[in-house]
Amino acid sequence: METYTLTVNGEQKRVTVDPGSPLLWVLREDLKLTGTKYGCGIAACGACTVHVGGVATRACVLPVSLVGDRPIVTIEAVANDAVGRVVQDAWVSEDVVQCGYCQSGQIMTAVALLKSTRRPTDADIEQSMGGNLCRCGTYVRIRAAIKTASRHLAGGVR
Partner 1 sequence: MKTLQSVAVVALLVSAVSRMATIQGAERPQLPAPASSQARRAEGLEAWGRVYSVLTHPRCINCHTATNYPQQGDDRHRHQFNVVRGREDRGVAAFTCATCHQGSNADSTGVPGAHNWQLAPLSMRWQDQNDRILPSSEVCKAVTDQSRNHHLDGPGLLKHHEDEALVRWAFQPGRRSDGTERSLPPLTHEQFVAATRTWVEAGSPCPPR
Partner 2 sequence: MTSAAQVPAGSLLGRRGFIKTSALAAGGLMVSLYLDPPAAAQDGAVPPPRIYPPDAFVQIRADGKIVITVNRLEVGQGAETALPMILADELDADWSQVIAELAPAGELYKDPVIGVQMIGGSCSISNSFQQYRELGARTRSMLIAAAADRWSVPADQCRAEQSVVYGPGNRSARYAELAEGAVRRPVPAVVQLKSAAQFRLIGKPVRRLDSRAKCDGSQTFGLDLDLPGMLIALLARPPVFGGRVRTFDDRDARTVAGVRDVFEVPLVSGSAIAVVADRFWAAKQARDRLKIDWDVSGVEHPDSVQLFARYKELARTTGNVAVSFGDPQAIDRIPASNRIQTDYAFPYLAHAAMEPLNLTVRNDGDRAEAWVPSQIPTWEQAALAEVLGIGPERVTYHVLFAGGSFGRRGTVDSHFVREAAAIAKRVPGRPVKLIYTREDDMTSGYFRPMFVHRVEVGIGPSGTPLAWKHVIVGQSFVLGTGVIQEALLVKNGVDQLATEGIDDSPYALPNIHLSVHHPKVNVPTLSHRSVGYGHNSFVRETLIDELAARAKADPIAYRLRLLKPEAKRFRSSLTLLDQKSAWRHRLPRNHASGIACSAYHDTCVSCAVEVSIVDRRPRIHRATVAVDCGLAVNPLSIEHQMQGGLVFGLTQLMTNGAMTLKDGRVQQRNFDGYTPPYMKDAPEAVDVHIVPSDEPPTGCGEAPVPVIAPAVANALFRLTGTRYRTLPLPPIERGTRS
Q: What is the binding site for partner 2 (CB under 8 A)?
A: 1, 17-18, 20-22, 25, 28-30, 32-42, 44-45, 47, 74-76, 78-79, 88, 91-93, 95-104, 107, 122, 125-126, 129-143
Residues with Cβ < 8 Å from 151, sequence gap 6 or more?
none
15 contact choice in partner 2, partner 1, none (CB below 5 to 8 Å, kind-dependent):
none
Residue 58's H or E segment, with its range, is strand 55-58
Is the CB of 19 or the CB of 53 nearer to partner 2?
19
SS3 63: strand
In the complex, the smallest distance separating the C-beta of residue 146 from partner 1, rounded to whole angstroms, is 10
Residue 3's H or E segment, with its range, is strand 2-8
Residue 50's H or E segment, with its range, is strand 49-52
In the complex, the smallest distance separating the C-beta of residue 62 from partner 2, rounded to whole angstroms, is 13
Cβ-contact 141, 106 below 8 angstroms: no
Give yes or no for residue 117 binding partner 1 (CB under 8 A).
yes
d(CA 142, CA 140): 5
Among 15, 129, 134, 149, binds partner 1 (CB under 8 A): 129
Contacting residues toward partner 1, per CB under 8 A: 19-22, 41-44, 49, 55-58, 60-63, 66, 109-113, 116-117, 120, 124, 127-131
